Amino acid sequence: MSDWIDVCDLEDVPLLGSRVLKTGTIDIAVFRTSTNEVYALENKCPHKGGPLSEGLVHGKQVTCPLHSRVLNLDNGTVVAPDVGCVRTFATRVNEGRIKLKVTDKG
Amino acid sequence: MSVIEKERLVVIGNGMAGVRTLEELLKISPDLYDITVFGAEPYGNYNRIMLSPVLAGEKTIDDIMLNDDDWYDDNNVTLHKGKTVTRIDRRRKTVSSSDGLCVPYDRLILATGSKPVILPIPGADLPGVITFRDVHDVDLMIESAAHKAKAVVIGGGLLGLEAANGLVKRGMDVTVIHLVDTLMERQLDTQAGLLLQTSLEERGLKFLMGTATAAILGTTGVEGVSFKDGTSLEADIVVMAVGIQPNTSLAESVGVHCERGIVVNDTLQTYDPLIYAVGECVQHRNEVYGLVAPLFEQAKVCANHLAHKGFATYHGSMTSTKLKVTGIDLFSAGDFESGRGKEEIVLGDPGGGRYKKLVIKEDRLVGAVLYGDTVDSAWYFQLLRDQTDISEIRDQLMFGEARLGDSGHGGVNSAAAMSDHTEVCGCNGVCKGEIVASIEENKLTTLDEVRAHTKASSSCGSCTGIVEQLLAAAIGGDYSLTPKESPLCPCTDYTHDIVRNTILNQGLKTIPEVMRFLEWREPDGCPKCRPALNYYLLCASPDTYVDDARSRFVNERVHANIQKDGTYSVIPRIWGGDTSAADLRAIAEVAEKFNIPTVKITGGQRIALFGVRKEDLPAVWRDLNKAGMVSGHAYGKALRTVKTCVGSQWCRFGTQDSTSMGIDIERMTWGAGTPHKFKIAVSGCPRNCAEATIKDFGVVAVDSGWELHIGGNGGIKVRATDLLCKVSTDAEVKEYCGAFMQIYREEGHYLERTAPYIERVGLAYLKRRIVEDSVGRVELFKRFLFSQTFAQIDPWAEDETPAAEFQPLGLKEPVDA
Ligand code: SRM
Ligand SMILES: Cc1cc2nc3c(=O)[nH]c(=O)nc-3n(C[C@H](O)[C@H](O)[C@H](O)COP(=O)(O)OP(=O)(O)OC[C@H]3O[C@@H](n4cnc5c(N)ncnc54)[C@H](O)[C@@H]3O)c2cc1C
Ligand code: SF4
Ligand code: FES
């Protein structure tokens, strides 16, 4: 499936914050950076499943609220020296609406 | 095209202080000035203190160059080597050198160092009389040693001994003449001086102690030295090392106010505000210094001012001494002489070549002399500088940090056992935490890299061993550290204290403003600095600051504690732990209504609901609120609980009503944000059933009133409280409590609990501020109550977080991801 699905208004996601999208199978955390970029990651830290949506957003990264692993929002990798990776999803903002591609980015 | 003219900065003196100031300036504001440096010596900038190893043949001049010509080129600094400035025209703002070169300045730095003292005795001007200050002197000595046999060194201080040692190593027959009976008497007591003398004698040095020089003999050159007692000694050269004197002649000649040195204020400005002075030529708060550590601190402050920042100030330095004679371990700091009110702990092992003396006054270390075993010098120096209360560790003090049972690092080497803010490199003021952080961050693997990144071990080198240990531990061992002290976080080089003072002095009002002003490296900061800045700003302006929820950890944003499965725990406040059937019923109803799986009595005497789903949080709060309960802040860097015992209400031993006191205190202090969590307890008698003596603030009732205790911690590292004082009325308990919380709020570093805070600032300091200074205490208490008027708003009742955010986003139709 390659359709863009419509999620919410850009303004529904707080600056430097996130909202959770329940897809029915997995939860996706939708993030908004201070420069209004939008990223979407599976809401499950590769360490012990912490909800990334609750983490602190800084630059293009989020820090997991449970044990402070840092993840790159653009590719879902955990910042060294820790290791790991979560699924990411392509996003775009169209006329103030956030859209998301629920198939894997690549 | 118009060119904006830069301001012109001229530095007189190409020595250690002048150039270090430029380095600091270029680091923070590389393009601000057109810089010109005059140096009387015909070299780039070198590490003067390493002249001793050069003389001893252990290093070459090339080894000790700090900045060669390329450095000046790369940084667009014009260097006039071998040119002495002889005139300053303060009206026209120009300086001129002896050969007629004239350069204008907008700001000027005097960094002219010191001059060696020459004894006013006959023959002092004979060829062959050498001082020990610069490369030229060392060349002369090396030259002489090559074809002359006998040297007399006048002066048994640090410089004289290092000169004598060097000349002996170069094959000369050397006698040191010293006026008093103890070598380095300003740094060493008699015992340590004797040990030093013995080991130097074993290396071939000779000494004439208690001897005053009368004249230097000779007609066309040095032939000998005669003494006041009528005796004399043959000599081919005389090294005069009897002291140094700030080089103030140029400043004096143009009317810049000088006393013993050029007088400067806390921003290193002389009486002419366009003229700064740094280094050995300076007199600051009545002190002149002859070591590098102070001038490096001065350089930082001066650069900060030159860069138009102006928030750093210099408050003077405490110095320590190490002798750079290879194979001799000697350390001295502070006041080591016995005297009234002072106590000494001494360990003497002359056979083993070891001697240690610690001088203590009012439970603080005030002086230390170590000979033969200097492993713990950095630790002692830290205790001394921080004025740490050592009463608890007194019986172990002598045996060093590794012997402290509760540092809990048994088996780890001494460097690993040092705390993060223990200073390792005294010359450059580099702490262990900085070194370790830099090793980790920059992936450093060699000593030279560590020197390049941190400057540690790049000056006198006496900390090289410790730096190597740290390197080994950091890259070899699997031991992780979180740097506690400076800098605040990797986004900045500034420490908590500097950031905080800057917020106050510059009136900064928002997180972005602070980050811009202090040139944060990351535009959004990081999870370490953002919560800290948010707290500091809130503490500075409780009435106007708008809290930044996005800079708070999730717990403080949702007013509940996140659990391992992503659910939350909710703990309502139960004032003083004193509950009622109605409250219990309300809690029970909430638990049932929201299917909360666990209801538990906590270690803080409250009732916790564990396993609440995020989307239920607003409704859970609303129900608890309706029943009259407010948030317990069990998630916050804030007042947690006030634990109480039942006290005189029921207990047969109770002397006061501790429960009511606890309730009153909790009602007064709830909602207060603090650097880290803050816990209080009140016990009704010294049996202390509320465990008040491991709380941040503990109150213990006694027959005549209340004992107030501070700085306890029952967590990771147990620390019993210190007794602050005894008071008799209930009102006093509250006033002292509020004043203590406020001083901690204003001075504690973010995430520093009261226990480490007290160890940092010292109990004596807090007694002074809170007990002795009654006016100050009332002021603190007032500020506390003022900020409480904005803080005591129940976050559960507030609708600040839009409830929508607690709800997940849904899709019209589920998709398969
Ligand atoms: C709920 C409670 C345990 C319990 O089931 O009883 C508890 C639970 C937690 N404690 Fe605690 N502490 C609880 C009483 C204590 C006590 C005892 C006390 O308060 O009298 C201590 C020792 C006393 C002290 O603090 O000096 C205590 C020392 C700690 C520490 C170590 C603090 C330290 O400075 O050494 C931490 C870690 C931290 O704060 O960084 C901690 C951290 C935590 C956290 C918040 C860990 C976290 O960040 O998730 C725990 C939350 C669990 C959760 O899922 O919600 N907890 N914790 C207690 C709540 C008390 C209350 O009603 O507010
Ligand atoms: C042999 C030796 C060993 C030492 N060992 C230690 C040690 O182990 N630990 C320690 O902390 N300290 C030590 N010191 C002291 C330390 O070197 C000094 O504290 C430090 O160099 C002072 O720096 P400064 O910039 O103030 O002066 P300097 O480094 O002396 O620089 C002043 C410069 O200004 C130049 N100058 C003066 N007047 C003029 C003028 N009118 N025009 C142009 N140029 C001018 C001078 O030629 C000189 O180059 C030692 C010093 C010596 C000499
Ligand atoms: S001691 Fe405290 S932090 Fe540790 S598991 Fe228990 S509640 Fe959690
Ligand atoms: S679950 Fe994210 S860091 Fe542990």
Pairwise CA distance, residues B392 & A58, whole Å: 43
Tokens of B713: 């911690």
How far the first Cα of chain B sits from its last, in Å, is 60
**Rounded average pLDDT over B478-497:** 64
Residues of chain A found within 8 Å of residue B810, distances taken between Cβ atoms: 21-22
What is the per-residue pLDDT for B412? 38
Query: Can you tell me the distance from the alpha carbon of B112 to that of B246, in angstroms, rounded to the nearest whole number?
Result: 8
3-class DSSP assignment, residue B291? coil
Between the CA of A67 and the centroid of ligand 3 the distance, in Å, is 14
Residue B58: per-residue pLDDT: 87
Least reliable range by pLDDT among A34-43, B190-199, B261-270, B341-350:
B341-350
ipTM of model: 0.72
pLDDT > 90: what percent of chain B?
A: 68
Is the pLDDT at B723 greater than 70? The verdict is yes
Report CA B537 to chain centroid distance, whole Å. Answer: 23
Nearest chain B residue to A65, by CA: B554
A12 and B804 within 8 Å at the Cβ level: the answer is yes
Helix (H, G, I), strand (E, B) or coil at B260: coil
- Ligand 1 contacts (CB < 6 A) are B 561, 563, 569, 571, 600, 602-604, 606, 608, 632, 634, 640-641, 643, 677, 679, 713-716, 753
Contacts of B343 (CB under 8 A, 6+ apart): B359, B360, B361
Task: Answer yes or no: is pLDDT of B805 > 90.
Answer: no
Inform me whether the pLDDT recorded for B221 exceeds 70: yes
Q: Which CATH superfamily is domain A2-103 in?
A: Rieske [2Fe-2S] iron-sulphur domain (2.102.10.10)
- Residue of A2, A58, A88, A89 to mutate, interface with B, max B Cβ within 10 Å: A58
Task: Encode burial over B769-803: b for 16+ CB neighbours within 10 A, e otherwise.
Answer: bbbeeeeebeebbebbeebbeebeebbbeeeebee
- Whether the predicted pLDDT of B511 surpasses 90: yes
Would you call B815 and A24 a contact, using CB atoms and an 8 Å cutoff?
Answer: yes
Locate B300 and state its tokens: 């930082």
Is 90 exceeded by the pLDDT of residue B385? no
Average pLDDT, chain B: 90
Tell me the shortest Cα–Cα distance from A96 to chain B, in angstroms. Answer: 16
H or E element at residue B78: strand B77-81
Judging contacts by C-beta atoms under 8 Å, the chain B residues touching residue A19 are 805, 808-809
Angle ∠(B62,B471,B469) on CA atoms, nearest 5:
95
Domain boundaries, chain A: 2-103
Q: pLDDT-derived band of residue B414, with 50, 70 and 90 as boundaries?
A: low
SS (H, E, C) B513-539: HHHHHCCCCCCCCCCCHHHHHHHHHHH
Looking at B100-181, list the stretches that DSSP marks H as alpha helix, in order from N- to C-terminal side. Answer: 135-147, 158-169
Q: Is residue B696 in contact with ligand 2, taking CB distance under 6 Å?
A: no
Which tens digit of pLDDT belongs to each residue from B257-277?
999 999 999 999 999 999 999
- The span from the CA of B591 to the CA of B769, in Å, is 46
Nearest CA among B803, B793, B811 for reference residue B616: B803
Cβ B123 vs Cβ B213: under 8 Å? no
Interface mutation vs chain A, best among B548, B809, B812, most A CBs within 10 Å: B809
Give, using CA atoms, the residue closest to atom 47 of ligand 1: B561
Contact B331, B322 (CB under 8 A): yes
N residues, chain A: 106
pLDDT at B469: 76
Chain B CB contacts of A12 under 8 Å are: 804, 809
Residue B719: CA count within 13 A, CB half-sphere: 22
Check pLDDT > 70 for residue B336. Answer: yes
Poorest-pLDDT segment among A71-85, B133-147, B395-409, B637-651: B395-409
Chain B contacts of A20, Cβ < 8 Å?
808-809
Assign residue B748 a region: left if phi > 0, alpha if psi is -120 to 50, beta otherwise?
beta
Evaluate if residue B438 carries a pLDDT over 60: yes
HEC string of B530-566 equals HHHHHHHHHHHCCCCCCCCHHHCCHHHHHCCEECCCC
**Tokens representing A95?**
């006329």
- Predicted pLDDT of residue B87: 96
- What gap in Å lies between CA B356 and CA B397, rounded to an integer? 11
Alpha helices in B421-463 (DSSP H): 432-442, 447-454
More confident residue, B671 or B4: B671
Least confident residue range of A27-31, B229-233, B347-351: B347-351
- Short-list B142, B165, B145, CA closest to B153: B165
Spatial CA neighbour of B113 closest among B244, B21, B243, B23: B244
Q: Nearest chain A residue to B815 by CA: give it.
A: A23
Closest CA to B333 of B319, B346, B344, B347: B319
Gap between the Cα atoms of B108 and B271, Å rounded? 12
With CB atoms and an 8 Å threshold, state whether A20 touches B809: yes
pLDDT tens-digit readout, B291-323:
888 998 999 999 999 999 888 899 988 888 877
Q: Under a CB-based contact definition with an 8 Å cutoff, are residues B518 and B533 in contact?
A: no
Identify the DSSP state of B770.
I
Shortest CA distance from B526: residue in chain A: A58
pLDDT at B404: 53
Give the pLDDT means over successive 10-residue stretches in chain A (106 positions): 83 94 92 95 95 96 93 93 90 93 64
A9-23, B617-631, B800-814 — which is least confidently predicted? Answer: B800-814
Q: What percent of chain B clears pLDDT 70, i.e. is strictly above it? A: 94
Q: Residue B492: which of B456, B521, B527, B465 has the closest Cα?
A: B521
Query: With 60 as the cut, is the pLDDT of residue B406 above it?
Result: no
B685 lines ligand 2 (CB under 6 A): no
Mean local confidence (pLDDT), B433-446: 82
Q: Is cis: bond before B53, omega within 30 of 0? A: no
The pLDDT of residue B95 is above 90: yes
When pLDDT is averaged across residues B679-687 and rounded to a whole number, the result is 96
- Whether B38 and B319 have beta carbons less than 8 Å apart is answered as no
Size of interface A-B (CB pairs under 8 A): 91
Most B-contacting residue of A5, A20, A26, A104 (CB-CB within 10 A), to test interface:
A20
- For ligand 3, the distance from its centroid to the CA atom of residue B318, given in whole angstroms, is 42
Residue type, B749: H
Residues B413 and B406: their CA atoms lie apart, in Å, by: 15
Phi, psi (deg, nearest 5) at residue B438: -70, -40
Find, in chain A, the residue whose alpha carbon is nearest to that of B441.
A81
What is the mean pLDDT of the segment spanning B232-252? Answer: 96
Q: What angle do CA B307, B313, B314 make, to 5 degrees?
A: 120
DSSP SS3 for A68:
coil
pLDDT of B120 higher than 60:
yes
Residue B808 DSSP code: P
Q: Which of B551, B564, B814 has its CB closest to that of A66? A: B564
Range with the poorest average pLDDT among B530-534, B629-633, B732-736:
B629-633
- In this prediction, residue B325 carries a pLDDT of 79
